[in-house]
């Protein structure tokens, strides 16, 4: 469907009404020079349940900011998963121009664009802070744009969950053997790692996870972190809550823009769209940090959830497998190889800074 647009009423435009003196003997003539301003009706489709805490509300925030900052010249209507298109149809819908914006996670499109997974999260890869550093200042955005260009899409980081949790299990994980035959919802590269460790990875949208755990169709699931996992009620269907989320150390959400729709906008509105998304990117991480710590206490103290650390031996083995999986994935596709080379070089450098700065401080604070 073609984007609806209409001409805004002159009264609503920032009309410039000028008084022009045409000559000393002539009365001033009032000239209305206001070109009626075009307004744009945009749709945003999302892979999240409507208004879902953090993810859905993060998408809402982008829409609200664009509408507010543009003074209503762009009106964005948000659709939750299944309202306009299904959760995993977001990419195609925005690519075709059925919606102008899409809020999702790039790793969902791994089957279409192998390199997409590197723009959301890589097992044992970058943290949220490091990911933003790579994207904005380390060459990441240029590569992401290259990956989405053939689909008529402009990518943007549109939020970050921070370090996720390892997931919900009904048995203790004491060795990698315990992962064998385990049917677990875990998307992207993390899923490939689980498969290599003998598990059975499943990709399902968030809304299907609770019933799948309840019916036993899934043995285990990861989702995000305490804030979101509490909202889905996983504590009712699983006993152990494992940390850390080795598979998603700082997952970047995305807000893709249909390129043709973006190119139709005047420069000031283009800047508003890009910067509204940028504001929301940082805002989501702040919200997750604030809410996760509250929700974790609720899960433990109110719902009796047992918090567990994956043993170091399990993490070491998963890390070794992760390195192999990521290298192999990168070799299968020319752009993935280029993206991974960039991200790996950045990781190997930034890890030294993170260790002497934030990590050293957090350690010191705990003494």
Q: Considering the complex, what minimum distance in angstroms separates the CB of residue 208 from Ca ion?
A: 14
The site that binds Ca ion (CB under 5 A) totals a number of residues, namely: 3
| Residue whose CB is less far from Ca ion, 87 or 273 | 87
Give counts: helices (H), strands (E), the chain.
Answer: 12, 15
Which residue's entry shows tokens 């279409």?
Answer: 112
For the segment 251-310, give every residue that binds Ca ion (CB under 5 A). none
Shortest distance (Å) from residue 98 CB to Ca ion: 27
Specify the stretch interacting with Ca ion by CB under 5 A; choose among 6-14, 39-47, 248-256, 301-309. Answer: 248-256
- Smallest separation (angstroms) from Ca ion to the CB of 104: 13
Using the contact rule CB under 5 A, the part of the chain among 99-107, 246-254, 258-266, 291-299 near Ca ion is 246-254
Examine residue 244 and say whether the peptide bond preceding it is cis (omega within 30 degrees of 0): yes
Candidates 292, 211, 209, 285; CA nearest to 251 is: 285
Q: Which stretch binds Ca ion (CB under 5 A): 160-168, 235-243, 283-291, 324-332?
A: 160-168
CB 61 within 8 A of CB 159: no
Q: How far is the CB of 350 from Ca ion (least distance, A)?
A: 22
Residue 40: which of 104, 81, 97 has the closest Cα?
97
Of the pair 123, 155, the CB lying nearest Ca ion is at 123
Q: How many CA atoms lie within 13 A of 50 on its CB side?
A: 8
Min CB(287)–Ca ion separation in Å: 16
Pick the piece of the chain touching Ca ion (CB under 5 A) from 87-95, 162-170, 201-209, 233-241. 162-170
198-227 positions binding Ca ion, by CB under 5 A: 222
Rounded CA-CA distance 284/300 in Å is 24
Query: C-beta of 164: minimal distance to Ca ion in Å?
Result: 5
Number of C-beta neighbours around residue 240 at 10 A? 17
CA angle 79–81–84, rounded 5-degree value: 55
Helix (H, G, I), strand (E, B) or coil at 296: helix
β-strands 5-7, 38-46: how paired? antiparallel
Q: x/- site string to Ca ion, residues 164 to 183, per CB under 5 A? A: x-------------------
Task: Select 138 or 187, whichever has its Cβ closest to Ca ion.
Answer: 187
Binding site for Ca ion (CB under 5 A): 164, 222, 248
């Amino acid at each position: 469907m073609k984007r609806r647009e209409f001409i805004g009423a002159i009264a609503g435009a920032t009309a410039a009404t000028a008084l022009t003196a045409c000559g000393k003997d002539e009365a001033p003539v009032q000239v209305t020079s206001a070109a009626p301003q075009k307004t744009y009706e945009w749709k945003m489709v999302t892979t999240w349940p409507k208004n879902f805490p953090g993810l859905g509300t993060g998408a809402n925030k982008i829409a609200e900011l664009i509408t507010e900052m543009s003074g209503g010249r762009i009106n964005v209507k948000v659709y939750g998963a299944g309202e306009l298109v299904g959760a995993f149809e977001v990419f195609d819908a925005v690519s075709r121009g059925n919606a102008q914006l899409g809020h999702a996670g790039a790793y969902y499109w791994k089957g279409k664009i192998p390199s997409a997974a590197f723009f959301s999260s890589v097992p044992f890869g970058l943290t949220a802070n490091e990911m933003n550093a790579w994207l904005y200042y380390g060459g990441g955005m240029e590569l992401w744009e290259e990956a989405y260009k053939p689909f008529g899409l402009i990518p943007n980081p549109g939020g970050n969950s921070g370090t996720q949790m390892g997931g919900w299990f009904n048995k203790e994980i004491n060795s990698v053997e315990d992962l064998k035959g385990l049917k677990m919802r875990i998307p992207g590269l993390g899923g490939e790692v689980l498969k290599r460790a003998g598990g059975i990875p499943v990709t399902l949208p968030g809304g299907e996870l609770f019933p799948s755990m309840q019916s036993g169709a899934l043995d285990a699931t990861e989702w995000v972190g305490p804030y979101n996992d509490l909202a889905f009620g996983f504590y009712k269907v699983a006993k152990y809550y494992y940390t850390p989320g080795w598979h998603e150390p700082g997952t970047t959400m995305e807000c893709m823009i249909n390129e043709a729709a973006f190119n139709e906008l005047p420069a000031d509105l283009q800047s508003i769209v890009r910067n509204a998304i940028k504001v929301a990117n940082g805002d989501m991480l702040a919200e997750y940090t604030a809410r996760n710590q509250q929700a974790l206490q609720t899960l433990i103290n109110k719902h009796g959830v047992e918090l567990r650390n994956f043993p170091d031996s399990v993490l070491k083995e998963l890390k070794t497998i992760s390195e192999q999986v990521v290298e192999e994935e990168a070799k299968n596709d020319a752009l993935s190889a280029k993206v991974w080379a960039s991200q790996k070089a950045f990781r190997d450098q930034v890890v030294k800074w993170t260790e002497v700065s934030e990590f050293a401080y957090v350690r010191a604070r705990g003494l």
